[in-house]
A and B are shown apart, each in its own frame.
Chain A
Amino acid sequence: MSKITVFTAQGIHTMDDTLPWATAVAVRDGTIVEVGTLETLQPWLDSGPYEIDNRFADKFLMPGFIDPHLHPFVGAVLLPTTFITAFEWDLPSGRVAPTRGRVAYLQALSHAVTQDSGELPIFVTWGYHPIWHGEITRQDLNAISANRPIVVWHRSFHEVILNDAAIEFLAIDRDVMARHPQIDDARGRFFEMGGMVALEALKPILFAPDWFGQGLGQLHKIVHQGGHTTVADLAWGMFDYEMEWSVSQNSFATEQPPYRMMVVPRGLPDAELTGSAQDAFDRVHALTDRGNDRMFLNKNVKFFADGAFFSQLMQMDAPGYIDGHYGEWMTAPQQLRDIMRPYWMAGYGIHVHCTGDLGMDLVLDILAQFQDEKPRFDHRFTVEHFGVATSEQVRRLAALGGIVSANVYYLHELGEAYWKHAIGHERAVHMGRLGTLKRHNVPFALHSDFTMAPAQPLRNAWVAVNRLGESGAVLGPNERISVHDAMRAITIDAAFVLGQEDSIGSIRAGKRADFTVLDADPYSVDPLTLKDVRVHATIFAGQPHVVAD
């Protein structure tokens, strides 16, 4: 029998309402033996060798944070870029302070290019947005460097600006540039479909081992410094099932990052359903017979209903968008139902990317039909993102037993922009309607969808509790939730969304010894400073891993 280790703390929020508060937790072989006080643990300590580890005695422990929805491969592509952003980000290289205004942006960019080591073949910065940074052109970038290829990558991913050196380096076809309606030749700006031209040329660089490998290494650090001990890749197979699996396996084996990753495959293996739904199911199901303790599968699957929230492509019911445009379906409505059915019948936990209220109607219609065809209890059918939804839809979701994994960060970054430019005040300030979920007892988790939002659970909890827009105004005060509910949404309720609540998400005897160690008590600090509570360390499977300063 291995030795027991007891971690003591100023306080432990167990996230188990039966015994919510403790000061010591005993672990052995990566598993929790008991949580309580040094006195209550005594029978265990009397039974054999043990040590008391007091290094976190002045800290606060929580169950290891869980991000139930992120995309490691998108992160790996993006992280080697230089972040110059209008909003604050925490990266392994340090805290990125907000940069706003055109002059400040160009100064920051010029400084970054000068500081850049030049190891990678091209300098890429991410985070530019004209709302905050004004109009940046090819000439501005040429003035910064005539030789170093510079790529300015828009916050939304759909747009880039190149200097002449980058246009040369990427060998962009000049004829295509001249005639494409979504490429502004003079300004070096590639947007929407024109952006794809530049990104296509960038792909060989972004997916090269030196870029991508460095990105995965940074991703491990970000996940750790956010305080996570479990994350879910919520679209395994986004690029290529086997490539992603082997790259992740290698990276986990060689770098041993202190977290585990649940892998949720995309359930429609092709761009659209072409053969029978049963065949598509069989193909994906056959892939799921693999995994280990660090990368595991759990009969969960991912689908996509309507378009991207950041691109204003969510499907909105009447009265729609102010400018009259329409959203998009990522999967044709009837195909979405057809392809999901075999998974429902086979007892899978189904996760559906759903961003607008018309998308929500569709997803609810499908769930209602499945409940008619084969009623299931405790099915964990999860609406992912939960951008815009009505109160009535939440009530119907509750009636059908559905649950939610929300990207509430949308509200902070887009709430005011969408109020003024997309869907008006009433619907924009009520995006991420968490208060309504609470009133209808719908379990919900918070996620980052990294890199759509920072992979920092406390930052997302801060948005959920305060609902501050970018200007600092409170948006939709009746949809705010308590600190306790926000903390549940990044621990036990996130575990519930993943079907992992038996092993992670709270601190009790028998669960994994995964903890997050905080400098301050999130329940005691001013809620307005919740995002600033520092993650000091994590304890993964009983082993402490301190976050570097």
Chain B
Amino acid sequence: MNTFKGRPVIGGSLTGEALVTKNGFNPLATFQRDVILRRKETRCGDQNNPDLAGRPITGKILVIPQAVGSTTGGLVLQEAVALGVHPAAIICALPCDTLTATGGILAKIWNGRRMVIVDGVGSEILHRVKTGDTLSISEDGTITQLCATPEEGSP
């Protein structure tokens, strides 16, 4: 059972299913279509991110290096949280970027809604945790890999 330690940017404790990408997470490209259409769930709309494109993102624990892209990304992320289509948590392997931080902080302060953000976890998490694994996050930013999905090809 692997554990990782990060900094709680927006603290909280929860357990959920991991969705992992080693590429930058682009909030505008991910959410723009589903936010425009006011959908109840989001599938990632970023065609430039092969790990995420087309995958359901709502309620997942999104594990990313950092967010990238347009500086409108923070607002789009806030709107996704307001609409309730956001990931339950975002874990940044690197130090948090301005888009992720702004999205989470705006939603917390202006919409009264919380999306947990943990940052600075280290790049090892991107290699050890696979999409589909169960992760648990605690208030202090400790992340525990509870259940790993079997490696492809293993019995």
Are A and B co-members of a single complex?
Answer: no
